[in-house]
Amino acid sequence: MRAIRIEQYGGPEVLRRVDIDIPSPGPGEVLVRVACAGVNFIRSSARRLQH
């Protein structure tokens, strides 16, 4: 599956698309399929200010 990985502080330029194995839920957990997600401008701006 594709995922967005953030390994350092910064703006949108630190977002990396990576391929990872589909996780297996543990006891008492569920796996949720997300069709789409968004990141708004305020969140990406806040990340830029935190380093």
| The two three-digit tokens of residue 16, written as one number | 């990396």
Spatial distance between the Cα atoms of 33 and 35, rounded to a whole number of angstroms: 6
Q: What is the pTM of this model?
A: 0.53
Higher pLDDT, 44 or 38: 38
**Cα–Cα distances in Å, from 26 out to 20, 30, 31, 41?**
17, 8, 9, 34
Tens of pLDDT, residue by residue over 10-29, are: 777 888 999 999 999 999 99
Report the pLDDT value the prediction gives residue 49, as an integer from 0 to 100: 61
